[in-house]
Structure 1
Amino acid sequence: MALLPLDDAPGRLPTGIPLPTSNRFGAPRLLRSALVLLPLLLIGGWAVIDWRTVYDGTARLGSADPWWLLVALFFTCLGWLSAACVRQGALPERLPVGLLIASQFAAGAANHVLPAGIGAHAVTLRFLQRRGIPVARATASLALYSAVRPVAKTLVLLVFLLAFPDLLLTGALVPDERTSLLIAGAVTLALAGTALLVTTVRPLRRPLFDALRCALTDIRLLHTRPARILALWGGAAAAPLLQASVLHAVGAALGLSLSWVQVAFAFLAASTAVGAVPAPGGIGPVDAAVVFAMVALGAPVDLSATAVIGYRVLTVWLPLLPGALVLSALVQRKVL
């Protein structure tokens, strides 16, 4: 048996043979680079498809009152702060304020690309995981966030109806029997589909039950802390009012004669009625419903449509590119 040279002895690498390059971190780096570019690519594709909306809305806003548009932009920024408050209120752990607000600004961009809030929830879930929050607790906070916001919006709508009963005199805003049956049928189908999915797909049961158990525990814990209660319910109640304030400010910039109460009621009623339709950021069904509600309250059709387009430009298109850049930066810095 021949002896190996000293350079080829066991435990040492032979000389003259190139060392293999490890690609263990190649795939994660490639994936991270793809995630950095993905938001920009999605936004670019969406802009190509729906460029007419952006062009028309921007052109019509060119003749609007700039001071009212600044007020609308201010309320738009407050909307991201309210979302961050609700996210913090849904978790017992304290989150860094700056990164939390930045994550919600980035989540807004993702939310307008994917339907039913999937984009915002995905960004927030990743953010919470990077902060060391267990998956069950993070998922439970997302479920609590999703449940509190429509409940708070409905309560605010009921307060409006009690405080301003004259708004109910607008018969066009009251759904007829056919519309009520459609809404009830959609809710029933959604609940039945969820129950069927949970009962038939066994791998989903344990994660869902774990998240539900964690959510119930966190709900009891959170509602013993006044700061969390204020952040959770106060932020959820403020969110639709801030959105309605943006719409009213845009309408005032264009010369719309409706009062803030009328615009807020129209927005609350419309978004509550059709907000469950899975569209990116609620764009489409909510817009049509808001225009219909404002027209029913006495506003001109063209002015109402222009106000809604301007509202979408300020809340969706204007922050979309900066939000995508922030999302890419957070991914690059491993915050997400």
Structure 2
Amino acid sequence: MRAGAARSVRTATAVLGPDPVGAALPLLQPIALTHTTRRALKQHAKHTGNRAAEPSGGPAGVDVAAEAGSPTGGDGPVATTASPAPPEATTTEPAPEHHTPAPSGLLDEIRAEVLRTRPRVVGRPVRLERLRPRTLLVVVGGVVAGWLLIPQLFAAEDNPVSALADADPWWLLLALAAAAASHVAAAMGFVGFVPERLDFRNAVLAQVAGSFVKLVSPGGVGGIALNTRLLQRAGIPTAQALSSVGVGNLIGLVLHLLQLGAFVYLLDFVPGSSELDALPAVVGGLAGAAALLAVVSAIPAARRWLATRLRPLTAEVVPRLLDLLRSPSKLAVGVTGQLLVSICLITCLYCCVRAIGREPSFAAVAVVFLVGNAVGSAAPTPGGAGAVDGMLLTLLQQTTSMEPGGELAAVALFRLLTLILPVLPGWAALAWLQRRRAL
């Protein structure tokens, strides 16, 4: 920044040699620099742009004066002096645009200087990625989780390996059937919120393909993008496709909360039972979420931020929901499908628990799944890996009084059936839909 691009390249070539300088050219990117250096580049670019813009004021003033003198019938010399003004303005106006660069303007000058001296050097930048704190947190969390879980896998008593070896195959078949049925239910919950006619087979395959896509995308982003793409390929405009997916997600959230409240109410606790001891923790978590929402609503800045984020959703979802009200049958299919998705997954988890010889109440397992899946799915990991498992383990131990080995075996079976096994069929379904240009 002080010596300039040409002098810096000459010095680097003289000290390091031409080959190392050329080899470093693909790495000459802002992301490879420190925060202090990038900030200095910004200030340098801003200073250079302001300095380059100062001389452009003179010709512009002459041009204005010339144009002002022409209509008044000025004499010949004035007209002669004014005539070159347009070319000057034409040549000087683009200069500020050329010299008002992004933070990498100086880097481009250095790259151009290196290529000028060594034209055969490959100057195309390579792809660089900065390690994000979220990625580091996921890696550290995975290492810690593995360090805590490995001793339990080989414990002398109640280890999950022996529990899995003694699992009841009939309950496992029921769990597998429930996991498979959840994809059909998800397709019902998807097509039910689309007023247009859709191919139900493609909808089911899209939900199966989502099992593969969600492993490479955080949260539920992959499923949303997949469903939106399916609607676009079916000829539905993008705005309406996004609205339909938004309606389905919004109704699914409401139904999820209603089911959670219903199963908490249906829990037939007896005084002194271990399940009763876990109820305050569940209710406390829900109360904490409600309190957090109340605090956000009470702060004007937070309320405006939330309103800004929700305004596009309400602007698109509400009109689409009004369109759905004109066809109650499709709306009923969508609501039924959304309810069945949760019921199928709860049944799968319940059958996994029963397969290893434990007999908790269905309502207790439902509360465990609904709370654990909702909290764990907010994690930025693909498929909620780690977060969902940890929440299910904790809630199963607190709510159903299961031994550490039994709860780990049950969660491992559940995640195997709902997260791992559907990956290969999901990949095949995605390839089939893409081959038929349905995605």
Instruction: Tell me the equivalent position of 2:276.
Output: 170
**Cα-to-partner distance string for 1:257-291 (whole Å, 9 max, x where unaligned):** 21323212222233344443333223322222222
- The one-letter code sitting in structure 2 at the alignment partner of 1:289 is M
CA distance in 2, matches of 1:189, 1:124: 34
Count residues in correspondence: 279
More off after superposition, 156-165 vs 320-329: 156-165
Secondary structure at the aligned position of 2:269 is classed as helix
Q: Are 1:109 and 2:232 counterparts?
A: no
Instruction: Tell me the equivalent position of 2:320.
Output: 218
Instruction: Tell me the equivalent position of 2:372.
Output: 270
Higher relative contact order (CA 8 A, sep 6+): 1
Alpha-carbon offset, residue 235 of structure 1: 1.4
CA distance in 1, matches of 2:382, 2:237: 28
Distance 1:109 1:249, change over 3 A: same
CA distance in 2, matches of 1:112, 1:167: 41
Instruction: Tell me the equivalent position of 1:36.
Output: none
Give the 5 Å matches for 1:62-73: 62-73=165-176
Alpha-carbon offset, residue 59 of structure 1: 8.7
Alpha-carbon offset, residue 165 of structure 1: 4.9
CA distance in 1, matches of 2:220, 2:248: 11
- The one-letter code sitting in structure 1 at the alignment partner of 2:248 is Y
Distance 1:240 1:74, change over 3 A: same
Instruction: Tell me the equivalent position of 1:249.
Output: 351
Instruction: Tell me the equivalent position of 2:423.
Output: 320
CA distance in 2, matches of 1:127, 1:190: 36
Alpha-carbon offset, residue 193 of structure 1: 7.2
Instruction: Tell me the equivalent position of 1:37.
Output: none
Distance 1:63 1:118, change over 3 A: same
Give the 5 Å matches for 1:1-336: 61-166=164-269, 170-175=276-281, 183=289, 196=305, 209=312, 212-296=314-398, 297-336=400-439
Alpha-carbon offset, residue 183 of structure 1: 3.7
- Is the 1:84–1:104 Cα contact (8 Å) retained in structure 2? yes
Kindly report the root-mean-square deviation, in angstroms, between the aligned alpha carbons of the 2 structures: 3.3
Distance 1:63 1:177, change over 3 A: closer
- For normalisation by structure 1, the TM-score amounts to 0.72
Distance 1:322 1:177, change over 3 A: closer
CA distance in 2, matches of 1:215, 1:71: 37
Structure 2: state its 5+ residue gaps. 1-141, 154-159
Alpha-carbon offset, residue 190 of structure 1: 8.8
Structure 1: state its 5+ residue gaps. 1-48
CA distance in 2, matches of 1:216, 1:137: 11
Instruction: Tell me the equivalent position of 2:58.
Output: none
Distance 1:181 1:155, change over 3 A: closer
Alpha-carbon offset, residue 184 of structure 1: 5.3
Alpha-carbon offset, residue 123 of structure 1: 1.1
CA distance in 2, matches of 1:229, 1:243: 22
CA distance in 2, matches of 1:113, 1:173: 35
CA distance in 1, matches of 2:197, 2:436: 21
CA distance in 2, matches of 1:151, 1:116: 18
- The one-letter code sitting in structure 2 at the alignment partner of 1:319 is P
- For normalisation by structure 2, the TM-score amounts to 0.56
